[in-house]
Amino acid sequence: KPSQAKPSQAKPSQAKPSERITENLVRDTLRSLGYRKPNNGITIEEQKSEIASIKSLLSRASKNSKGHFGYPEFIISCRKDTSFLIVFECKPDIRKHESPSHDRPVEFAVDGVLHYARHLSAHFTVVAVAVSGSTTETLRVSNYLVPSGTTDVKALVNEAGAVVSEIIPFDDYYRLASFDPDVADKRHSDLLAFSRDLHEFIWARAKVSEEDKPLLVSGTLIALMNQPFMKTFEALGAEDLQEAWLNAIRKELDRADIPQAKKDTMLQPYSMVAAHPNLGKPDSKTAREYPDGVFKEIIARICVNVWPYINVYHDFDVVGQFYGEFLKYTAGDKKALGIVLTPRHVAELFSLLANVGPHSKVLDICAGTGGFLISAMQQMLRKAVTEKERTDIRKNRLIGIENSPKMFALAVSNMILRGDGKANLHQSSCFDEDILRAIRKLRPTVGMLNPPYAQSKSDAGLHELYFVGKMLDCLTVGSVGIAIVPMSCAISPNPVREALMRHHTLDAVMSMPQELFYPVGVVTCIMVWIAGRPHAVSDRKTWFGYWRDDGFVKTKHKGRIDLYGRWPAIRDRWVEMYRNREVHPGQSVSMAVGAEDEWCAEAYMETDYSTITQADFERELRKYVVFRIMNQPGLREDADDAAE
């Protein structure tokens, strides 16, 4: 009797000869691209899987009405990120590559691989690869991405936006998948949820201070880079774990070839964390729940929930995410501390406004945890074509200064975790002339800045515009410098404004949402400057944007978020308006201004009367009447008499 097995059930040796040829072509390609190199952490399974979750998901993935259990031709997984898969479906006849509606999974390669991918995406981010043809010359390849938690199918595209139409190395599949917005949003959402849980656990069990909690996270991530520590920390006793943790950090800093002075600066705050008494041997109460100590539990949770992000994705400020989340619980007024962290989507906006690319050299003189540098790196890597360019970006094109030793440790850790042990980060004041001379020699071409916000305007030495001036002085002539500062810098007289215009051009100012930094109550604007070209010499108008609505809304547990997915369209429109210097009533205006003028759209913008409704008119009229009554004694007395 002929075999009754379906093609998806057959072992490789049972496959039809023509189909085996296609599979052999794929095997040869995978081998040539390094998929089968020893000790690379990549596993290739053919028409089966030993991974329990894959078995479970595919048990419901029959491609026909008879309910037969099937597998793709190849399932590729990787030890460094167990939530990512590549699956292949092969057909020998290129006429069977895909159907018009993608609804015939038994007969067509694309239809079949997407069928499997949609089932697997319940737990995995899946790259689905359809291959048809029986010779190298005729081989046809289609690549798709199905983000975890969705059944949405997208064509896989490269950094330039071109559809990928060949089999590519594993790391390239990985990188392109990580840049997908849906994948990034899911990753960020998961990390946000875990950061809240970790805060509660550290606070309740270890009583580590708010400023030391981010160091605990970043130090643990550095320690987990050390393979001996990664493999042995679960076997260590509580009394040995603190020393092993610090030694692992020290070894990774040595391996990263960091200068000794920088290394000593970093190790000091980590040494203080390692010596925290509540992270040592547990007391009798804690030992009942965590016999190996709270520190081991913290490390284990970070290893499972955060390490995959660091080990794989280099596209956003993971340490800064924890810093921002932990900061929410700091007692007191955060603005009084001068701490106003840049929202992630604003850091992204800066990189787009500056139009950074592989040849940009980005400077942040108040680097904090490195959020601007990491956002810029992401945009630069998107546009990079070669591995040489990507390496150059990480090693040479990100420059930062941070004064706080603890924040500096976080920033350097962030860059090390991205494979950049020689990042041009300096622990110093951005007013130190020796440091500034060294920075100028590096010839940065883009400046990004969120300066410390002054605690008192009577202390001119802390005025935010002084920081802006120092940033601009470091840039090459004609470079773009972007800063987000309090709105008072744009509307309140200050001698620094005249000094800035004497040496640089005020290119644009954008009024930002009033609750952008919620829960910190500071209203801000973005200033864009052209470095080294006096405003009077440029003799150009300044473009003002009224960017008060970024689409974000306040939520009970997550703060301000893009709940309705409006931000991407708003972001793209803002960037387009700025680049083309578009003028629209109620949205933007172009005006010649000097140091004594107000630098905000509200002062010059035309009202867009087409958007005003009857309800708007009545509301404003009522407000005006109330204002007149409350501020004119005669009118108030008449109103009181009428009421009587």
Q: What is the 3-state secondary structure (H, E, C) of 445-473?
A: CEEEECCCCCCCCCCHHHCHHHHHHHHHH
Helices (H), 449-566: 464-474, 488-491, 495-503, 535-538
Report the pLDDT averaged over residues 275-283.
84
Highest mean pLDDT out of 52-56, 187-191, 320-324, 529-533: 529-533
Q: In what order do the strands lie in the sheet with 588-591?
A: 424-427, 398-402, 362-364, 446-449, 480-486, 524-530, 505-511, 542-546, 588-591
Q: How is residue 144 written in tokens?
A: 């798709």
Higher pLDDT, 310 or 464: 464
Tell me the residue type at 119: H
Considering the chain, what is the average pLDDT of its residues? 85
Q: Which residues contact 89 (CB under 8 A, 6 or more apart)?
A: 72, 73, 109, 110, 112, 113, 116, 128, 129, 130, 131
Local confidence band at 331 (pLDDT 50, 70, 90 cut-offs): very low
Q: How far apart are CA 577 and CA 583, in angstroms?
A: 8
pLDDT-derived band of residue 340, with 50, 70 and 90 as boundaries? low
Sign of the C-alpha dihedral computed for residues 541, 542, 548 and 552 taken in this order: positive
Tell me the pLDDT band of 423, cut-offs 50, 70 and 90.
low
Contact 117, 87 (CB under 8 A): yes
Instruction: Find the DSSP H helices in 74-226.
Output: 109-120, 170-178, 181-205, 213-224
- Contacts of 156-159 spanning 24+ positions with Cβ under 8 A: 156/127, 159/381, 159/382, 159/383, 159/384, 159/385
pLDDT band at 178 (very low <50, low <70, confident <90, very high): confident
> How far is CA 256 from its chain centroid?
23
pLDDT at 491 over 60: yes
Exposure of 143 in the CB half-sphere (CA atoms within 13 A): 20
Between 175 and 393, residue with greater pLDDT: 393
For residue 287, give every residue at least 6 positions away whose Cβ sits within 8 Å of its Cβ, in sequence order, or none: none
Q: What is the pLDDT of residue 630?
A: 59
**pLDDT at res. 175:** 83
Give the per-residue pLDDT at 644: 52
Please report how the helices 170-178 and 181-205 are oriented relative to each other, as an axis angle in degrees rounded to 10: 80
Give the 3-state secondary structure of residue 132.
strand
The pLDDT of 534-543, averaged and rounded, is 95
For the ranges 176-180, 488-492, 524-528, the maximum mean pLDDT occurs at: 524-528
Residue 337 has pLDDT above 70, yes or no: no
pLDDT 10s digits, 257-271: 778 888 888 899 999
What secondary structure, in 3-state letters, does 598-634 show?
CCCHHHCCCCCHHHCCHHHHHHHHHHHHHHHHHHCHH
Strand arrangement, sheet containing 42-46? 42-46, 74-78, 81-91, 125-132, 140-146, 154-155
Contact indicator for 109, 97 with CB cutoff of 8 Å: yes
User: Which whole number is the average pLDDT over 485-507?
Assistant: 95
Lowest mean pLDDT among 80-84, 539-543, 605-609: 605-609
235 φ, ψ to 5°?
-95, -10
Q: What is the pLDDT of residue 191?
A: 79
Angle between helices 495-503 and 464-474 (to 10 degrees): 10
pLDDT at 71 over 80: yes
Q: Note every long-range contact of 538-542, with CB atoms under 8 Å and residues 24 or more positions apart, other chains counting.
A: 538/505, 540/505, 540/507, 541/590, 541/591, 541/592, 541/593, 542/506, 542/507, 542/508, 542/509, 542/590, 542/591, 542/592, 542/593, 542/599
Q: Is the pLDDT of residue 421 over 90?
A: no
Interatomic CA distance for residues 246 and 255, integer angstroms: 14
**Lowest mean per-residue pLDDT among 304-308, 459-463, 563-567:** 459-463
- The model's confidence at residue 334, banded by pLDDT at 50, 70 and 90, is very low
pLDDT band, residue 462 (cuts 50/70/90): low
Positive or negative, the CA dihedral 349, 397, 369, 488 is negative
Q: Locate the domains of the chain by residue range.
A: 12-178, 184-331, 614-643
Mean pLDDT to the nearest integer, 112-141: 94
Higher per-residue pLDDT: 313 or 462: 462
- With residue 85 as reference, give the H or E element that holds it: strand 81-91
Residues in contact with 132: Cβ distance below 8 Å, sequence separation at least 6, in sequence order: 22, 90, 91, 92, 93, 94, 96, 97, 109, 139, 140
* More confident: 25 or 281: 25
C-beta separation of 552 from 561 below 8 A: yes
Distance, in Å, from the CA atom of 615 to the CA atom of 234, rounded to the nearest integer, reads 65
**pLDDT-based confidence at 358, cuts 50/70/90?**
very high
Residues 348-370: what's their mean pLDDT?
Answer: 95
Q: How far apart are CA 317 and CA 306, in angstroms?
A: 12
**Separation in Å, CA 402 to CA 410, 429, 604, 626:** 10, 7, 37, 50
262 phi and psi angles, rounded to 5 deg: -65, -40
SS3 559: strand
pLDDT confidence of residue 259:
80
Confidence category of residue 6, pLDDT binned at 50, 70, 90: very low
Kindly state the average pLDDT of the residues 423-431. Answer: 87
> Is 80 exceeded by the pLDDT of residue 533?
yes
Beta bridge partners of 553: 561
Query: Which residue has better confidence, 108 or 556?
Result: 108
- Higher pLDDT, residue 180 or 578: 578
Segment (H or E) for 304: helix 294-305
pLDDT value at position 422?
A: 57
pLDDT at 628: 66
The CA-atom distances, in angstroms, between 450 and each of 70, 438, 482, 637 are: 54, 21, 9, 50
The mean-pLDDT minimum among 154-158, 334-338, 402-406 falls in: 334-338
**pLDDT attached to residue 10:** 43
Query: What is the pLDDT averaged over residues 15-23?
Result: 76
